[in-house]
């Protein structure tokens, strides 16, 4: 049978390869973003409660309303941003699905998308499946800073989207407010969209603040932000995430989302909504992770 692959250069996902090698050799697996400790017992209890008490049918397409309300409260407490839970938040089947949906909702054949590499490995295939053209800005050590003047020269009339990731996977680089202001200046007055992968928003150490797009109102108007409950609450196997975007962009995002997964599992959404009622569940996460980071650095 003659099959024309849409991704002829793509083989087995590197995470699958490295995780298999770690299992084979009994090695500590630092290749894939899942922890070796379980998610909080209080969160498990709430999820189990809703599983046992009838929350087992389809959730609304955009997500359980209470969860979206709690996330809007989280955005306000964390970044001072006023988000409409009805029109500007959609619950997704993990962050990777949100990234894929955002790319395929807006990228057309021939559109250029600027990637900052090294990068999470789902970006490029999603762009190519949409018919887009990846344009690569390569980071270099030891500081992995972005030269915004050089970056700006990569923008063309075909540029439709820029994908950023902070804290950065796999380097760990945290972008500053100056970086975000430079990005704002480069894209101001254009139709270029920003797709901001912020799944590691709580892995911020030494008193620094996560410079979310949500802190920059002008930038927010042309951006989609992606987050992960799996990364936040060490529950990667649940595959739960969400996307935040202005209503105009979210309408297009949901058009694709509804024909991709339509909705995500109900009882987990209700459980997370309950758990988020207490802001300390996420406000203490940076301290929690820094203790582990510091232990790793001493070892």
Average pLDDT (284-290) is 92
150 with 182: CB under 8 angstroms?
Answer: no
Of the ranges 10-14, 31-35, 147-151, which is most confident? Answer: 147-151
The answer to whether 75 touches 226, Cβ cutoff 8 Å, is: no
Average pLDDT of the chain, as a whole number: 94
Ordered by start, the domain boundaries in the chain are 36-278
What's the rounded mean pLDDT across residues 37-47?
A: 94
- The residues that bridge with 194 in the sheet, in sequence order, are 162, 223
Whether the pLDDT of residue 234 is over 80: the answer is yes
Averaged over 6-25, what is the pLDDT?
A: 80
Tokens encoding 104: 């395929």
**Cα 143 from Cα 139, distance rounded (Å):** 9
Percent of the chain at pLDDT above 90?
84
Question: Percentage of residues in the chain with pLDDT exceeding 70?
Answer: 99
- The pLDDT value recorded for residue 168 is 96
Is it true that domain 36-278 has CATH number 3.90.1150.10?
no
- The model's pLDDT over 160-173, given as tens digits with 9 standing for 90+, comes to 999 999 999 999 99
When comparing pLDDT for 199 and 8, which is higher?
199
CB within 8 A of 69, min separation 6: which ones?
Answer: 85, 273
Q: Is the pLDDT of residue 151 over 80?
A: yes
- Per the CB < 8 A criterion, the answer to whether 63 and 91 are in contact is yes
- Give CA–CA dist 183/177, Å, rounded: 10
Q: Could you tell me which residues come within 8 angstroms of residue 291 by beta carbon, excluding any fewer than 6 positions away?
A: none
What integer is the mean pLDDT of 230-253?
A: 96
pLDDT at residue 30 is higher than 80 = no
Match 């058009």 to its residue by tokens. Answer: 255
Question: Dihedral (C-alpha) 147, 9, 242, 226: value to the nearest 10 degrees?
Answer: 0
pLDDT at 268 over 80: yes
Mean pLDDT of 201-215: 95
pLDDT surpasses 90 at 150: yes
């Amino acid at each position: 049978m003659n099959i024309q692959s849409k991704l002829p250069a793509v083989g087995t996902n590197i995470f699958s390869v490295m995780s298999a090698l770690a299992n084979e050799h009994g090695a500590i697996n630092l290749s894939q973003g899942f922890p070796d400790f379980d998610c909080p017992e209080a969160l498990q209890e709430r999820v189990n409660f809703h599983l046992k008490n009838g929350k087992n049918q389809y959730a609304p397409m955009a997500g359980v309303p209470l969860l979206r309300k709690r996330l809007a409260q989280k955005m306000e407490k964390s970044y001072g941003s006023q988000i409409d839970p009805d029109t500007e938040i959609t619950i997704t089947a993990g962050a990777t699905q949100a990234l894929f949906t955002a790319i395929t909702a807006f990228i057309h054949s021939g559109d250029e998308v600027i990637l900052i590499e090294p990068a999470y490995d789902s970006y490029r295939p999603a762009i190519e499946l949409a018919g887009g053209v990846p344009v690569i800005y390569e980071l270099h050590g030891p500081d992995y800073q972005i030269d915004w003047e050089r970056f700006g020269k990569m923008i063309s009339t075909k540029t439709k989207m820029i994908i950023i990731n902070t804290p950065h996977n796999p380097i760990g680089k945290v972008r500053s407010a100056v970086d975000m202001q430079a990005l704002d200046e480069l894209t101001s007055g254009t139709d270029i969209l920003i797709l901001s992968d912020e799944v590691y928003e709580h892995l911020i150490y030494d008193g620094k603040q996560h410079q979310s797009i949500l802190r920059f109102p002008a930038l927010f108007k042309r951006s989609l932000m992606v987050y992960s409950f799996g990364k936040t609450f060490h529950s990667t196997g649940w595959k739960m995430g969400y996307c935040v975007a202005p209503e105009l962009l979210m309408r297009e995002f949901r058009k694709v989302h509804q024909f991709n997964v339509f909705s995500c599992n109900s009882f987990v959404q209700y459980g997370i909504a309950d758990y988020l009622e207490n802001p300390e569940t996420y406000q203490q996460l940076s301290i929690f992770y820094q203790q582990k980071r510091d232990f790793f650095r001493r070892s």
